[in-house]
Amino acid sequence: MTVATKTMSFEVRDVSGQKSATVNDCPVDASVREVIPALLAQLSLPQNDLSGPISHSLRRDSDGALLHDGDVVGEVVEPNSRLVLQPSIDAGGR
């Protein structure tokens, strides 16, 4: 017998607000770290720049709360909510 994975839907946009998408069937038990690459692909955003991989984070649009990589989607995201995908800024980086 297989157990069906519960999923949820939500909206995501890039930090500029120019690109957005509806995410359907995101597993509620996935970590934020696991869903970010799929979100980047869905929004057609680059995963690398000239310096190498770009780190991204998610935040809730409703309250601006930053979602941490290890957070479980079903615990920190409300169904049908809006999220913002933003590059992480490393001041004084390479």
Looking at the domain assignment, is residue 2 inside a domain? Answer: no
pTM for this one? 0.84
User: How would you classify the pairing of strands 82-87 and 7-14?
Assistant: parallel
User: What is the distance in angstroms between the CA of the first residue and the CA of the last residue of the chain?
Assistant: 51
Q: What is the pLDDT along the chain (94 residues), one digit of tens a residue?
A: 344 569 999 999 999 999 999 999 999 999 999 999 999 999 999 888 888 888 999 999 999 999 999 999 999 999 999 999 999 876 555 5
Distance of CA 87 to the CA centre of its chain: 11
CATH code of the domain covering residue 22: 3.10.20.90
Query: What contacts 24+ positions apart, CB below 8 Å, involve 18-22?
Result: 19/43, 19/44, 19/45
Residue 17 lies in a domain: yes
Task: Note down the domain range covering 81.
Answer: 12-86
Quote the number of domains for the chain: 1
